[in-house]
Amino acid sequence: MVIGFLLALSVLFHLLSVLVAIYLIRITNGRRGWVLMSMGMIVVSIRRIMMVLNRFIQSPFLSSPYLTPVAALFLSLFIFLGLLMIIPILRSIKSSELRYRSIFDTSGVSLWEEDLCELYKGFENVKNKGITDFRTYLNIHPEFVDKAIKSIMILDVNQATLDLFKYNNKKILISSLGSTFSEKSREVFIEYLISIYNGENVFESETEYLDAEGNKFNAVLKIISPKDKNQGKHSIVSITDITARYRTEKKLLTVLDEKNTLLKELYHRTKNNMQVIIAMLNLRSYSIDSEIVSTAFNDMIRRIESMSLVHEKLYKSENLSVIKLDDYIDELISLLISTDSMWDPKIQIILDLDSILVDIDRAIPCGLIINELLSNIYKHAFKGMDSGEIKISLHNLEADKVEIIVADDGVGLPSVFDIKKCETLGLQTVIALGEDQLHGSVDITSLPGEKGSKWRLVFTNTHGESRI
């Protein structure tokens, strides 16, 4: 009975050997060397099963004296051919291993090879509890982070890692993983846990570590884990020291902040100096009896005020390179109306403004042009009329073009009016600013003799070129 049991157990193990051999053929992707050796195992296992069966089933075939040498021949042949085919594969594996080891050991970047099997087991236990919001779970159970740090098995580190963390021995560094964490790196590690818990296989972040002497240094951490769980749960960690870059960036930010402060102060002082000039011109205009000279002074004051407003808006703006042209025009109109005591309240101004950013080199000419056109319209467009309307439009066109239209419903232009031959200083200023400084076009789209006038300015806006 014991012999029968042992024979049955032998048959069972031989059957299992056949299944293992078939599985080996499948997982080796049909490589011929492994297939031949597996077939040799199958031949031997089948022959052993036949020999056991022959004890219970008397069969000429099973008791044939030729089966054992034939099986031995096939076994020897399959193993011989399989080994011949496996040798190049083993050489390739060895070569790949040497290349990997060479890259790993000589890399100038800190590299870590980690086994996350225990960490993934911890994740599975949490997931089995039905936890979906892992961040909240960590807030409630902060002890999980410490367990996670201890569960990570460091398989190897390269020389660059020892140099970076100032350790002389790999074993000491590997056993001191938690001591390399600062408060910031611990926060980054929590984000890493959340990312792999959510199924992400690549994690990258700037962080901070402590070396063996307790000194902090800044680094970029990148962790790559296999996408397919069947490929294992090993990950490669790279840590790149960016302390020098971090310090340089910090210095540049300090310099930039100082530059912004100085530039703000420059805008502020320029605006104040213009206000002083305006005050002096106002004082001087009070002592002038000539209406022509007084009007010229007032025109000059309005021009300076329009430029002063640009510097004021830049001083108050977070972005010292550009301002919102629509806000500037709105405030400019309010300023002109409030500072001109002769402005008739029966003349309404309607604004239709798109939100557009421009730099100071475009904002000031635009303000001066609108100032000149409003002044000209107010002086000439509504003579003999009880009321009037001025509409100012600002729109974005295609190809970074900006359109400004200043239109009125006044008496219209003279029938002989020619913008190119106009000799008044205000309109000559409009043309010069629009065509020479803004490199745009200025024209009148309404025909002479018709009711009202319509001035149109089109220029290219390239505010994306930073001045700082």
pLDDT of the residue at 221:
92
pLDDT band, very low/low/confident/very high, at 20 (cuts 50, 70, 90) = low
Is 1's pLDDT higher than 60? no
Q: How are beta strands 347-353 and 388-396 bridged, if at all? A: parallel
Q: Express the helix, strand and coil content of the chain in percent, nearest 5 each.
A: 60, 15, 25
Positive or negative: CA dihedral 209, 212, 215, 218: negative
Q: By the 8 A CB rule, do 459 and 438 touch?
A: yes
- In the chain, the largest separation of any two C-alpha atoms, in whole Å, equals 143
Give the residue among 126, 102, 216 at the shortest CA–CA distance from 165.
216
pLDDT of the residue at 468:
45
pLDDT of the residue at 27:
56
Q: How far apart are CA 179 and CA 170, in angstroms?
A: 14
Q: By the 8 A CB rule, do 445 and 457 touch?
A: no
Q: How far apart are CA 105 and CA 102, in angstroms?
A: 5
Q: By the 8 A CB rule, do 330 and 387 touch?
A: no
pLDDT band, very low/low/confident/very high, at 38 (cuts 50, 70, 90) = low
Q: By the 8 A CB rule, do 344 and 386 touch?
A: no
Q: How far apart are CA 291 and CA 10, in angstroms?
A: 125
Q: How far apart are CA 434 and CA 456, in angstroms?
A: 10
pLDDT band, very low/low/confident/very high, at 314 (cuts 50, 70, 90) = low
Question: Which residues, in sequence order, are CB contacts of 451 under 8 Å at separation 6+?
Answer: 409, 410, 411, 412
Q: How are beta strands 216-224 and 234-241 bridged, if at all? A: antiparallel
Q: How far apart are CA 388 and CA 411, in angstroms?
A: 10
* Arithmetic mean of pLDDT over the chain: 78
End-to-end CA distance of the chain: 96
How do residues 342-379 score in pLDDT, each as one tens digit? 667 788 889 999 999 988 788 888 888 888 888 888 87
More confident: 105 or 109: 109
CA distances from 78 to 13, 71, 387 (A): 21, 10, 109
pLDDT of the residue at 404:
93
Q: How far apart are CA 41 and CA 45, in angstroms?
A: 6
Residue 192 per-residue DSSP state: H
SS3 128: helix
Question: Which residues, in sequence order, are CB contacts of 313 under 8 Å at separation 6+?
Answer: 323, 324, 327, 328, 331, 363
Q: How far apart are CA 87 and CA 56, in angstroms?
A: 42
pLDDT band, very low/low/confident/very high, at 292 (cuts 50, 70, 90) = confident
